[in-house]
Amino acid sequence: MTQHTRLDRLHLADYVLPGDAVAWPQGPGEPLALTELLLAQRKDLGRPELIFGLTGSATLTPDLADDFALRALNGAGNSRRVTAQAEITIGHVSWMPRLIRSGAIRVDVALIQVRPLPGGQYSLGVICDFTQAMIESARTVIALVNPALPPMRGDAVVAADDIDLLVEGDARVLDLPDPQPSAIDLQVARHVAALIPDGATIQLGVGTLPVAVAAALHGHRDLGVHSGVVSDVLIELIERGVVNNSRKGRDQGKTVTGGLFGTQKLRDFAQAHDLIDMRCADYTHHLAVTSSLHRFQTINSAIEVDLTGQVNAEVAGGRYLGAVGGQVDFVRAGVASEGGRSFIALPSTTPDGRTSRIVASLDGRPVTTARSDVDTIVTEYGAAQLMGCSLQERCRRLVAIAHPDHRDALMRAWQTA
């Protein structure tokens, strides 16, 4: 039987036991009123563990380590503020539902937000990914009723029986506006777009490069979208007729995603048009699904790439700032899809130009994506297709798309290694 209460009457110590693992959904799925209450009542709790992925709010700060154990599923967004204090759990997005359901990633209390649907069900609105796995695994599910969420269905639907406590009291949804790409980002994006054929299905994440790639695709036609998350740029692609999802090979006419990582504009569009299917990571990232998509073109970024094609998308300057996330899932999907491609796109240097992001060696830093999985690396200087190339040819091709100021040093490092 689902209980009901108001936010001002909720004492989390009645539900969170000492040492419990408390989790909430990523990005805009965070129930802000509940996480704020969690922090406000922290001294009444028995040092629970917080489980979090990408965050866009101000919830996480280093001082939380005084009252909570911290476990980060990635270092994306504002989560990077606390990764120095957190245990880092590494895993592909496609694994996350299974890891949570099996207890390998323990979730005792799930904090979610929902919108009521006709018939007594509820909608998660803006998030699916592995949220359903959290709900299924948690001893206690506390749901904030938020009428501002879009009433999305599919895997976003939650049964009333799955909720232990409904809390009234908030109508905020975290906005994640698209960032403004730099001139370099736009150059990189033009090289990527030139390799994507009309009629392909694309995967775009969030960040400056996905926004830039979306802009570079304005001249394309009959594209489909299948992605872990989508942002506001999706709207213009649909309204321009670039994306119609007519040739995907499955889910015809629908953009498939696990998260609406945008602003009110995207939420309004999703509610007004039956064009977006919300699906869990078991579907969005499952190779049996993604490999069946027509000409699946996957676009991901990285912190650095070494001269053999190894990709580090996790650590920079000794800090955990990124994630394994869905990169490997989608890199493999692009190659497995008939007519598909996989692109790792990044500027050739750090913003100040001093440090090359094509490096001689990762020197002990993480290998997020193995060189044996990598298809094509793209910078503002062009594209280097690596699949099928020898190590020597990989080096030559990667040096050719490095910044000219760093090419000689990279070649010398390779020759003396």
d(CA 139, CA 143): 13
Whether the model pTM is above 0.85: yes
One domain for residues 66 and 192 = no
Q: What CATH number is associated with residue 263?
A: 3.40.1080.20
User: Residue 116 domain-assigned?
Assistant: yes
d(CA 308, CA 306): 6
Tokens of 204: 């775009």
E-strand stretches of 200-327:
201-203, 224-227, 255-257, 276-278, 296-300, 304-306, 311-312, 315-316, 319-320
One domain for residues 161 and 42 = yes
Backbone angles phi, psi at 229, to 5 degrees: -140, 160
d(CA 55, CA 185): 23
One domain for residues 225 and 364 = yes
One domain for residues 22 and 67 = yes
Could you give the 3-state DSSP secondary structure of residue 12?
helix
- The pairing of beta strand 311-312 with beta strand 304-306: antiparallel
One domain for residues 115 and 215 = no
- Cβ atoms 385, 375 nearer than 8 A: yes
Q: Which of 381, 324, 344 is nearest to 75 (CA)?
A: 324
One domain for residues 124 and 260 = no
- Cβ atoms 287, 374 nearer than 8 A: no
pLDDT digits (tens, 9 = 90+) for 304-349: 999 999 999 999 999 999 999 999 999 999 999 999 999 999 999 9
Q: Which of 107, 132, 127 is nearest to 228 (CA)?
A: 127
- The pairing of beta strand 21-23 with beta strand 109-116: parallel
User: Residue 177 domain-assigned?
Assistant: no
d(CA 41, CA 380): 49
Rg (CA), the chain: 22
d(CA 217, CA 248): 17
Q: How many domains does the chain have?
A: 2
Last residue of a domain, one of 168, 196, 229: 168
pLDDT at 324: 95
One domain for residues 156 and 188 = no
Tokens of 139: 């001893």
Q: What CATH number is associated with residue 116?
A: 3.40.1080.10
d(CA 37, CA 56): 17
One domain for residues 187 and 124 = no
The amino acid at 196: I
d(CA 242, CA 38): 43
Backbone angles phi, psi at 354, to 5 degrees: -80, -30
The domain in which residue 338 lies consists of 183-416
User: Residue 175 domain-assigned?
Assistant: no
One domain for residues 39 and 102 = yes
User: Residue 176 domain-assigned?
Assistant: no
One domain for residues 68 and 194 = no
d(CA 114, CA 109): 16
Backbone angles phi, psi at 112, to 5 degrees: -130, 170
User: Residue 327 domain-assigned?
Assistant: yes
Neighbouring-strand partners of residue 342: 298
Backbone angles phi, psi at 270, to 5 degrees: -60, -35
User: Residue 100 domain-assigned?
Assistant: yes
Last residue of a domain, one of 143, 168, 193: 168
Per-position pLDDT tens, the chain of length 417: 799 999 999 999 999 999 999 999 999 999 999 999 999 999 999 999 999 999 999 999 999 999 999 999 999 999 999 999 999 999 999 999 999 999 999 999 999 999 999 999 999 999 999 999 999 999 999 999 999 999 999 999 999 999 999 999 899 999 999 999 999 999 999 999 999 999 999 998 889 999 999 999 999 999 999 999 999 999 999 999 999 999 999 999 999 999 999 999 999 999 999 999 999 999 999 999 999 999 999 999 999 999 999 999 999 999 999 999 999 999 999 999 999 999 999 999 999 999 999 999 999 999 999 999 999 999 999 999 999 999 999 999 999 999 999 999 999 999 997
The amino acid at 4: H
Backbone angles phi, psi at 156, to 5 degrees: -80, -5
d(CA 143, CA 34): 9
d(CA 417, CA 413): 6
d(CA 387, CA 371): 9
- Cβ atoms 298, 272 nearer than 8 A: no
**Residues listed for the chain:** 417
∠ CA 67-70-73 to the nearest 5 degrees?
A: 160
User: Residue 76 domain-assigned?
Assistant: yes
One domain for residues 154 and 188 = no
User: Residue 2 domain-assigned?
Assistant: no
One domain for residues 126 and 200 = no
